[in-house]
Amino acid sequence: MACNPAFRRILITGAAGNLGAYLREALADAAAVLRLSDRRPLAARAAHEEVAAGELADFAAVEAMMTGVDAVLHFGGIPEEDSWDNILAANIRGSYHIWEAARRAGVKRVIFASSNHAIGMYPRTQRLDTDAPPRPDTLYGLSKAFGEQLARYYFDKHGIEAVCLRIGSCFPEPRDERMLATWMSYADLARLCRRCLEAPVVDCTVVYGVSANARLWWDNSKVDFLGYRPEDSAEFYAEKVRAGGGRFTPPDPAALFHGGHFVPIGYTRQR
């Protein structure tokens, strides 16, 4: 089914990355034109594709890539913990540039690749729904929390609709025990992005990017209106994961909090 026909040109940032490259194929019919952007080299491969390469930290470049765009899938940026300077440039300045350029260009909707690391410091004993405020586990998670607040600010003040995807672990297969709860298949990511584009009204919404895993920690019931129906489950890989090890045991903070192995990075708290 084609996506919201109101979107004629969709910008995908991070289009040379793992998830962006997958979405470029999976959402080929999402709009008349897919504009692909990254700081790494890219080339158009089909009539519906065009390229606008650029550095997210450079506002002029972001403004140029936003011309004529009516929806954005913002997947560009650093996908893990890094230095403050790198996180500041790519994820914080970069995301601000996306929303500010979107406002100036009259963009209607931004779909933002947030992360479970925006809520990584919640204890695992707590199940979270989509109203859970951020508790970031890293500078990276903090940058995603900032992106979620950009979404809120630009919706409340300027009416740009947004969906923030708190993506769990989006890889071809779950690789450890934690991912049996947090995994999202590539196909489910595409299903979710499609619903975020197709839903007639999304206002400013947070949704967890996860498959239909039996061991889920996150509850999307409050955003059922999006119509996201995951079809894959990490449980299919449970035996393989168990055989491969990859288990953290308390009191390792990686085992105590939602953020897993991001939590021990720079962790100095004694109690």
Ligand X SMILES: NC(=O)c1ccc[n+]([C@@H]2O[C@H](COP(=O)([O-])OP(=O)(O)OC[C@H]3O[C@@H](n4cnc5c(N)ncnc54)[C@H](O)[C@@H]3O)[C@@H](O)[C@H]2O)c1
**Active-site choice (140, 154, 208, 228):** 140
Extract the tokens encoding 56: 């997210």
How many angstroms separate the CA atoms of 31 and 6, rounded?
A: 9
Contact yes or no for 17/38 (Cβ under 8 A)? yes
Closer CB to ligand X, residue 196 or residue 268? 196
Distance (Å, rounded) from C-alpha 235 to C-alpha 15?
Answer: 29
The one-letter code for the residue type at 13 is T
Shortest spacing between CB 41 and ligand X, in angstroms = 10
| CB-count exposure of residue 171 (10 Å: 0-12, 13-18, 19+) | middle
**Residues 162 and 109 sit within 8 Å (Cβ to Cβ):** yes
Place of tokens 């720079």: 266
Choice from 11, 76, 181, 253 touching ligand X (CB under 6 A)? 76
Least distance in angstroms from the C-beta of 145 to ligand X: 12
Least distance (Å) between residue 100 CB and ligand X: 15
Q: Taking Cα atoms as reference points, which of 245, 254, 210 lies closest to residue 229?
A: 210
Q: Which of 190, 171, 191 is nearest to 179 (CA)?
A: 171
Interface with ligand X includes 78 (CB under 6 A)? Answer: yes
154 is catalytic: no
Q: Which stretch binds ligand X (CB under 6 A): 38-46, 197-205, 239-247, 257-265?
A: 38-46
CA 23 – CA 81 distance, rounded (Å)? 23
Q: Which is nearer to ligand X, 8 or 30 (CB)?
A: 30
The piece of 37-45, 233-241, 251-259, 263-271 that touches ligand X (CB under 6 A) is 37-45
* Cβ 227 vs Cβ 195: under 8 Å: yes
**113 binds ligand X, rule: CB under 6 A:** yes
Is 55 among the residues that bind ligand X (CB under 6 A)? yes
Q: Which stretch binds ligand X (CB under 6 A): 51-59, 154-162, 172-180, 259-267?
A: 51-59
Would you say 65 or 204 has its CB closer to ligand X?
Answer: 65
Alpha-helix runs per DSSP H in 111-261:
139-158, 179-182, 186-198, 238-243, 253-256
Mask of contacts with ligand X, 86-105, x by CB under 6 A? ----x---x-----------
Helices (H), 159-247: 179-182, 186-198, 238-243
The residue range among 65-73, 77-85, 119-127, 129-137 that interacts with ligand X, by the rule CB under 6 A, is 77-85
72 binding ligand X? (CB under 6 A): no
Footprint (CB under 6 A) of ligand X, residues 10-29: 14, 16-20
Please report the sign of the dihedral spanned by the C-alpha atoms of residue 185, residue 155, residue 138, residue 62. positive
Q: Is 38 in the site for ligand X (CB under 6 A)?
A: yes
Residues in the site for ligand X, rule: CB under 6 A?
Answer: 14, 16-20, 38-40, 55-57, 75-79, 90, 94, 113, 115, 167, 169-171
